[in-house]
């Protein structure tokens, strides 16, 4: 609405007045964009700082393995060995007949 009124007001002015008014609009938009860029730059710097902190803390981090998972893994390996031994025994006893 305001823009329509501004265009109507400018249409009755001289060319230099219209150019001056449009230049003011462009300057306002540039100022607004500059403010947004400054905020974005601050956010980016904070993100970089947080990433650097995480990266610095990583060498001191160790993965903890669950004892239950270790036990299950050993049991699965033992069951596999027993299964292979049982199959070998069955094949061996059937070949002797």
Q: Are residues 72 and 56 in the same domain?
A: no
Alpha helices in the chain (DSSP H): 2-11, 15-57, 67-96
Q: Are residues 51 and 76 in the same domain?
A: no
Q: Are residues 45 and 72 in the same domain?
A: no
2-11 and 15-57 are packed helices; what angle lies between their axes, rounded to 10 degrees?
Answer: 140
Q: Are residues 58 and 72 in the same domain?
A: no
Q: Are residues 19 and 55 in the same domain?
A: yes
Tell me what pLDDT residue 8 has: 56
Number of domains observed in the structure of the chain:
2
Q: Encode pLDDT of 65-83 as tens digits.
A: 889 999 999 999 999 999 9
Q: Are residues 77 and 96 in the same domain?
A: yes
CA dist 72 and 78 (Å) reads 10
Q: Encode pLDDT of 10-36 as tens digits.
A: 565 677 777 888 888 889 999 999 999
14: domain range? 1-62
Residue 93 has pLDDT above 90, yes or no: no
Q: Are residues 19 and 38 in the same domain?
A: yes
Q: Are residues 22 and 58 in the same domain?
A: yes
């Amino acid at each position: 609405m305001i823009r329509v009124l501004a265009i109507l007001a400018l249409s009755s002015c001289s060319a230099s007045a219209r150019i001056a008014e449009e230049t003011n609009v462009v300057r306002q938009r540039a100022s607004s964009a500059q403010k947004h860029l400054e905020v974005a730059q601050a956010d980016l710097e904070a993100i970089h700082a947080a990433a650097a902190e995480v990266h610095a803390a990583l060498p001191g981090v160790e993965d903890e393995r669950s004892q239950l998972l270790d036990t299950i893994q050993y049991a699965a390996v033992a069951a596999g060995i027993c299964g292979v031994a049982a199959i070998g025994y069955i094949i061996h006893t059937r070949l002797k007949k």
